[in-house]
Structure 1
């Protein structure tokens, strides 16, 4: 069932969201200082492309470094990626099939804004 949900997700907006994260990662990697932000963006692109069967949990031991990187992330990419999630959710909510996807897109906004100190896990363990 997860595969079917993921395919519907990709068709109804997941591809464009993942492309946004990928572009943010490329832009962040252009500056040497923000390479960790770019790597986080690539990690999020993989999650956004195929979200069903995965969840985001707090990473044990995340501290002040994660808070600083979250602030940098939010300024560089987080706020506009959150806007893309909102726009995608609005478009997805126009159909009954897309309502579930719109809800998933809205649920991704907190991790979109502040991804550091978080970990993407599958039902069988860490990805």
Structure 2
């Protein structure tokens, strides 16, 4: 079932989302200061490409991760989380869209605090 969900996801926007996150990661990696943020964009791109069957676990970050999460949250995170929450709520209106809405809720969780999060 995960394979079918991932295949449908990939065809109807997953590849575009992964490309967009990868481009954002490349742009952030241009500067030395942006490299940690670029790495997180690549982590999110991997999840956006193939989300079904993966779980996001938050935590395991030290003081540096906490500071970077706060900076990420102020600059990028809250906008991304609101966007994914709205899209997820729209998908959950229909019965067929509920699994896809849950994936967007997973992206919202990761977009709030990507540093220290693990994707399994």
Q: Secondary structure at the match of 1:30?
A: coil
TM-score for the superposition, normalised by structure 2: 0.80
Distance in 1 of aligned mates of 2:110 and 2:51: 12
Structure 1 runs not aligned, ≥5 long: 122-127
Structure (1 or 2) with the greater strand fraction: 1
Q: What is the aligned partner in structure 2 of residue 124 from structure 1?
A: none
CA distance in 2, matches of 1:23, 1:12: 19
Residue 33 (structure 2) pairs with residue 68 (structure 1): no
Residues matched between the structures, number: 120
Q: Residues 28 and 76 of structure 1 are in contact (CA less than 8 Å); yes or no, is this contact kept in structure 2?
A: no
Q: Are the aligned partners of 1:12 and 1:98 in contact in 2 as well (CA < 8 Å)?
A: no
Q: What residue in structure 1 maps to residue 83 of structure 2?
A: 84
Write the distance in 2 (CA, Å) between the matches of 1:73 and 1:43: 14
Residue 109 of structure 2: aligned partner? 110
CA spacing shift, 1:16–1:79, aligned 2, 3 Å: farther
Find out whether 1:119 has 2:118 as its counterpart: yes
**Unaligned segments of structure 2, at least 5 residues:** none
Contact 1:15 1:49 in 2 (8 A): yes
Match of 1:22 in 2: 22
**Residue 119 (structure 1) shift:** 1.1
Deviations 1:59-105, CA, capped at 9 Å, x for gaps = 54x21111111122223432332243235325534643222201221
- SS of residue paired to 2:57: strand
- Rounded to whole Å, the distance in 2 between the matches of 1:81 and 1:34 is 18
